[in-house]
Amino acid sequence: MPLENYKHFITRVIQNNINEYVHLIFNRYGRGTFPGPTLKLVFQRNRTTINSSFLYENFTGAFLAYFLPDGDKFKVTGNIVSHQDLTSQLSEIISSLSMKKSKNLYKATIQMELLAENIKDLYSLLGEKCYLLISIKPLKGTIPRLQTKKSIPKLTEQIIELKPDFCKAYLQSNEEILDVFVKEALPDFQDKIDIPFKNLNLKNEFVITDIILPENWKSMPSKEVRLKAKRKGKIVRTLIVDGKTLKTEHEFLV
């Protein structure tokens, strides 16, 4: 992503740039075939609309944030949810926010006006560490705008199906938006897509063929074994662009 530090976990797999963030995402899966996150983009003369499922909400927000004009203020509402306490990192961007533990997660609720630069920092610094379940509205006009649901879906819902109805972004329409979108969300299809296009639908499928346990796993607590075990498999990606169907597959060990 043109944002300094954020990159979607599937793009990391495609580019063989695995980190702990990717490992934690796949840690929820056992052996089998599972639906991955989905994206939908509609390019019209007056605006571009992006619909995304859970696990693409940070990408959609980071993508929108990249195009926010520096110096402009936006109303930001929603929740920031994490598996760890990120208060210190969060306070570097917004000093008044802190995270509180709720069951097995940490959460901060946000409702304030922020400069575009602060919003970009949220995604750049925290986009691979937490779920940014936030909505962004301009103080004047209607776009650019982001709407995101405020809570994480239940694990059973994530495993069964991920529909592109969790997050929605509205932006202006120009070919730069399409170009950046393809480079960051669809690097494996980049040479097969003609810009501009009108409609795009992306589905990902995770096929987990093996779980590789860490050495000395018998002496470890079961929770530690689960966290350190690696998943081996592939991502099957199906893209429909203006009625044309394209497919790619990417093996991984994460």
Q: Across residues 213-239, what is the average pLDDT? A: 90
pLDDT digits (tens, 9 = 90+) for 22-64: 999 999 899 999 999 999 999 999 999 999 999 999 999 999 9
* Segments making up each domain of the chain, as ranges: 9-253
CB neighbours of 211 closer than 8 A, spacing ≥ 6?
30, 31, 229, 230, 231, 232
Predicted confidence at residue 215, as pLDDT, reads 87
Measure the CA–CA gap between 66 and 6, rounded to whole angstroms.
11
Which pLDDT score, from 0 to 100, does residue 15 have? 94
Query: Left, alpha or beta for 152 (phi > 0: left; psi -120 to 50: alpha)?
Result: beta
Q: How many residues does the chain have?
A: 254
Q: Are 164 and 42 in contact (CB under 8 A)?
A: no
Instruction: Please tell me the predicted confidence (pLDDT) of residue 132.
Output: 98
Question: What is the mean pLDDT of the segment spanning 6-12?
Answer: 95
5 pLDDT exceeds 80?
no
Task: Tell whether the model's pLDDT for residue 3 goes beyond 60.
Answer: no
Q: For residue 69, give both structure tokens.
A: 């004009």
pLDDT at position 159, please?
A: 66
Element (H, E) at 154: none
pLDDT tens digits, one per residue of 170-184 = 999 999 999 999 999
Element (H, E) at 134: strand 131-138
Q: Given this model, what pLDDT does residue 36 score?
A: 96
Residue 193 has pLDDT above 90, yes or no: yes
Hey, what are 101's tokens? 């533990």
pLDDT tens sequence across 137-162: 999 899 999 999 999 988 766 666 79
pLDDT at 157: 62
First-to-last CA distance in the chain?
Answer: 21
- What's the token pair of residue 239? 């893209």
Q: What are phi and psi of 243, to 5 degrees?
A: 90, -10
At 224 the pLDDT is 85
Please state, rounded to an integer, the average pLDDT across all residues of the chain: 93
Q: State yes or no: pLDDT of 4 exceeds 70.
A: no
